[in-house]
């Protein structure tokens, strides 16, 4: 009988181990080591030597996003979240670096909401985050804008605003 449950185990001096066996008999083990790095081992059924990958916490989180299905596009700057309870509402969040062409313009001038339907929910400027920028907000070159919307709206944003 295979034990389907996820086992977690504290290993003195090493860290925490999570292990589970899949339906088909493969084993996956994750170790959060005290070095701060995360090691993932996979062992195919009837195979003796596992293969391993070592990740930084950031890389591990990225892998986690992929496995939970949050990232649909391979592009790491975009995350799509599906809310299955809300009639499969799929929301995309995308980061864009502001090009020279729209620097100096405000959100209002660019008519982002009217033209695309997408919303700029945050801007990162020189390590500082501006959450919910007002319509009078003036973009500068090098700003990173976080845009939220349905994937069509995001595509329109890319076409109408970024390229224009």
Partner 1 sequence: MESIVIALFVCLVLALISKYLSVPAIPFYILAGVLLGKTGLGLVASDEISTFFSEMGLIFLLFFMGLGLKPERIVSNQKAVMITGLIDLNVNMIIGFTAAYMLGFTFVESLIVASAFYISSTAMALTSLIENRKLMLKEADTIIWLMVFEDLILIIILALVSTGGQNLIVFAVKILAILGVLYALAHYGKEFLVSILDRDDELPIIFTFAAVLTTASVSILLEVPETMMVIALGVAFATTDADAFEQHARPFKDVFIVVFFVFFGATVDFSGGADWMMMAIICGLAIVSKLISGILTGIFIHGSAMSGLEIWVNTIARGEFSIALAVLYGTPLVGTTIAVLVIVTSIIGSFAAKYSKGLRRGLVSMGRRTGPPRRVHHAGR
User: Could you list the residues that contact partner 1 (CB under 8 A)?
Assistant: 10-14, 17, 27, 29, 31, 33-35, 37, 39, 41, 43, 49-50, 52, 54
Q: What are phi and psi of 24, to 5 degrees?
A: -85, 0
SS3 112: helix
Question: Whole-number minimum distance, CB 135 to partner 1, in Å?
Answer: 37
Question: Whole-number minimum distance, CB 24 to partner 1, in Å?
Answer: 18
Question: Whole-number minimum distance, CB 27 to partner 1, in Å?
Answer: 8
Question: Whole-number minimum distance, CB 56 to partner 1, in Å?
Answer: 14
Q: Give buried/exposed letters for 123-142 (b at 16+ CB in 10 A, else e).
A: beeeeeeeeebeeebebeee
Q: Residue 35 or 111: which CB sits closer to partner 1? A: 35
* Best CA proximity match to 120, nearest among 14, 110, 128, 104: 110
Q: Residue 31 or 96: which CB sits closer to partner 1? A: 31
Token reading at 150:
């349905």
Contacts for 81 with CB less than 8 Å, ≥ 6 apart:
70, 90, 91, 92, 93
Q: Residue 28 or 81: which CB sits closer to partner 1? A: 28
Question: Whole-number minimum distance, CB 148 to partner 1, in Å?
Answer: 32
Half-sphere exposure of 67 (CA within 13 A, CB side): 6
Q: Residue 10 or 126: which CB sits closer to partner 1? A: 10
Q: Residue 40 or 91: which CB sits closer to partner 1? A: 40
């Amino acid at each position: 009988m295979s034990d389907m449950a996820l086992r977690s185990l504290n290993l003195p001096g090493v860290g925490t181990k999570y292990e589970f066996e899949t339906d088909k008999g493969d084993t996956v083990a994750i170790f959060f080591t005290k070095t701060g790095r995360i090691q993932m081992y996979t062992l195919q059924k009837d195979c003796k030597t596992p293969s391993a990958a070592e990740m930084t916490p950031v890389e591990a989180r990225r892998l986690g996003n992929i496995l939970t299905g949050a990232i649909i596009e391979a592009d790491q700057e975009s995350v799509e979240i599906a809310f299955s309870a809300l009639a499969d509402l799929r929301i995309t969040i995308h980061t864009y670096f502001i090009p020279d062409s729209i620097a100096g313009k405000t959100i209002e001038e660019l008519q982002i909401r009217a033209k695309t339907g997408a919303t700029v929910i945050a801007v990162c400027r020189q390590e500082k985050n501006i959450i919910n920028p007002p319509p009078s907000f003036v973009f500068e070159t090098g700003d990173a804008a976080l845009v939220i919307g349905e994937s069509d709206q995001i595509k329109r944003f890319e076409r109408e605003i970024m390229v224009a």
